[in-house]
Structure 1
């Protein structure tokens, strides 16, 4: 038998085939079913996965920040590369908060530590400061094999979780934080998704309801669609600088009880896309409501370093919860989130983040760790980047002066651009923009004439989608329509980032102004 098989191989054939077998056949030939003499050719087998058979919850997911407008922007960029003439020479992607893609320079100290962690041979180099080497050695010693390439514990590298806890305690004026309540995540999005997976349960009127602000960051609506949770909208007050009104929250909870079990309340502070910063009084009121209505709080605080208005201050939910006393601090369940992607760092690509979860049931803590262990661990490089965010140079260390200088330069530049954006947009007839108190975006309101709304409907598009698509095609400016974030019926908005360099931002805003004036004339 072995000699016969060897003979087949020598002749270039394979047992069970009719004809020579050769390496390098085309993939199409390799995949095509053999048609044997005397047998009829079979019809192609139907696909198992089709739009009709796929998970309907995935079909329901939408994510406007990278939706149809962005796909169209990619098509236009390819056309420009092929030499197709447009009224502009480049597409400016003002749709997403990607700081370094917009030209923001990385913080030197963070990149130095990351370089040392990635290539430890550099620890012998005199080109790197000792405080950066000290942090890199500490991180590497906590990694398996002293390498970022090893897995970490599912909850994250222990020493990094300790550094996060110490950072939270410093930020909150000494309010204690337990490293065991810290979970390192793949950006804040991963933490938000994970905790929602555990919270969502039930069916019919007992299905979990999750209160989210409108306008909202589309991650929330996307995850709720995927999990089959009930999205419960509460509206921010646009006429009051997008403030959160607790009476509006009460209305949303009361009405939700008629068709679901509202038990989760999501807060984004500072706001995305709206840029508001919540007052301490507002946060206290929200915590009182969560206690009364038995709501699990999710505090998305990734923009906590991005506060620009002189009369605004960031207050963490953890700090306010603690200061309300044991009745609240020992009972209200809270998960709060932070990230390397925003702030002054802008390290989106590292996908570093953490969540702190307090007052979690002991058995649920075990379930959370189990769920996290399924994906093994977050990227260890992202964990290291998060460590540098929470453990930056201290006064007296070699890198402190440069670090402070770079951090303040980024934040002051963002504050300048926030005011510039607000002022220039408010000069455009038919556009109203609230003050940008924080975060990285403006969410101006469009006062569209009825004929423009009718034209949009004729194209089967939401009016602000129609507007933003025209803006992209005629100016090369890519922004996101407000309908992708949610808005009160009959109002129209778009979200634009303030991240481009000042001169380019002025160009962007001037193009928006020119386009808008022409748009109003066309549909007057």
Structure 2
């Protein structure tokens, strides 16, 4: 008979999971709060102020009215047609609620929807992300009810066995990751400009993990940082993206605090924007080489006695020169032509090649 379920037989990683919203300090604070409620004079202070978790509304900050009004109207659409609603809710909230409900099958927020989330809402989100990043968004959006379900979804996709691991920055807040058998701790580096993720450290931790038989599947990055509060520099982000590309890692970017940037010299850049910018730059570089290759190919084919095939790849053209016997000994010393010079210098190169070739042919023809 298997042992009954108890604290000794449940997942030990859950037992080890101690973080900001629990643990000894928070437990003591909750006890003191109960003391103050039952005996106001029990301690030389009147209240407990919780500074351990990013929950502003629990500390008295009022929620944004517009969001609450729209939620209320969507959850109880029957009041949208009532005359009193116009006096209780703003016109913007009413209009937005109607727009959202029109996207929901049956106009019922409690009904099951598409597994990725309501399509109309995903389309609206895609427009917002495109406006933020400047790139059209491929429709690969999944809506979740918070960060934790999104993390669970990714873990189900990535983790195949106890030998699979995730590189996770420490300190961090993604408590779900602490339950992984192979959660690889990756400490933030204190650099002159603030907290950052050094690629050299990433490589070291990756190599160490692999030497232990762990297959690292992904890298977690939280930007702006929680709890370190940093905003990663764009160059740092580019280096991280290149690292993930080279090592075949999935980049999991938590960017929930993107609107919370307080210093004028720092700007939030989404990892999606950074990665797409790198791809675009690579594409532009490829197109530049193609244009240079085409210009040189055309120039060679216009020369007397020269034939040049189309450049299909690499960085070179290799023209064939049909010549007289007395020219061949000299031409044997000549080799390939690269397409690497700067594009603005290509016309000058073509002019010089053409002039030289014409003089060369005239000299040996006579």
Quick check: TM above 0.5?
Answer: yes
Corresponding residue for residue 168 of structure 1: 129
Residue from 178, 195, 205 that aligns with 2:138: 178
Please tell me whether Structure 1 or Structure 2 has the larger radius of gyration of its CA atoms.
2
Residue from 181, 199, 218 that aligns with 1:264: 218
Aligned: 1:51 with 2:7: yes
SS at match of 2:227: coil
SS at match of 1:307: coil
Residue from 61, 64, 86 that aligns with 1:107: 64
C-alpha spacing 1:95/1:234, structure 2 compared with 1 (3 Å):
closer
Cα RMSD, aligned residues only: 2.3
Q: CA deviation at 1:61?
A: 2.6
C-alpha spacing 1:239/1:69, structure 2 compared with 1 (3 Å):
farther
C-alpha spacing 1:47/1:264, structure 2 compared with 1 (3 Å):
closer
Q: CA deviation at 1:326?
A: 5.4
TM alignment of 1:34-113, pairs within 5 A: 48-83=4-39, 85-113=42-70
Q: Is the 8 A contact 2:258 2:268 kept in 1?
A: yes
Corresponding residue for residue 79 of structure 2: 122
Q: Is the 8 A contact 1:232 1:256 kept in 2?
A: no
Q: CA deviation at 1:142?
A: 2.9
Between the aligned partners of 1:308 and 1:232, the Cα distance in structure 2 is 28
Corresponding residue for residue 160 of structure 2: 201
Corresponding residue for residue 424 of structure 1: none
SS at match of 2:231: coil
Aligned: 1:230 with 2:183: yes
Q: CA deviation at 1:238?
A: 5.8
Between the aligned partners of 1:249 and 1:177, the Cα distance in structure 2 is 29
Corresponding residue for residue 190 of structure 1: 149
Greater Cα shift, 250-259 or 161-170: 250-259
The TM-score, its normalising length taken from structure 1, stands at: 0.50
Q: Is the 8 A contact 2:221 2:253 kept in 1?
A: yes
Greater Cα shift, 108-117 or 316-325: 108-117
Q: Is the 8 A contact 2:184 2:209 kept in 1?
A: no
Q: Is the 8 A contact 1:290 1:297 kept in 2?
A: yes
Corresponding residue for residue 312 of structure 1: 266
Between the aligned partners of 2:233 and 2:281, the Cα distance in structure 1 is 22
In the alignment, structure 1 segments of 5+ residues that lack a partner are 1-45, 330-524
Corresponding residue for residue 40 of structure 1: none
Between the aligned partners of 2:108 and 2:66, the Cα distance in structure 1 is 20
Between the aligned partners of 2:62 and 2:46, the Cα distance in structure 1 is 24
Q: CA deviation at 1:312?
A: 0.4
Between the aligned partners of 1:211 and 1:131, the Cα distance in structure 2 is 44
SS at match of 1:141: helix
Residue from 125, 141, 157 that aligns with 2:102: 141
Corresponding residue for residue 287 of structure 2: none
The TM-score, its normalising length taken from structure 2, stands at: 0.70
Between the aligned partners of 1:214 and 1:291, the Cα distance in structure 2 is 22
Q: Is the 8 A contact 1:197 1:227 kept in 2?
A: no
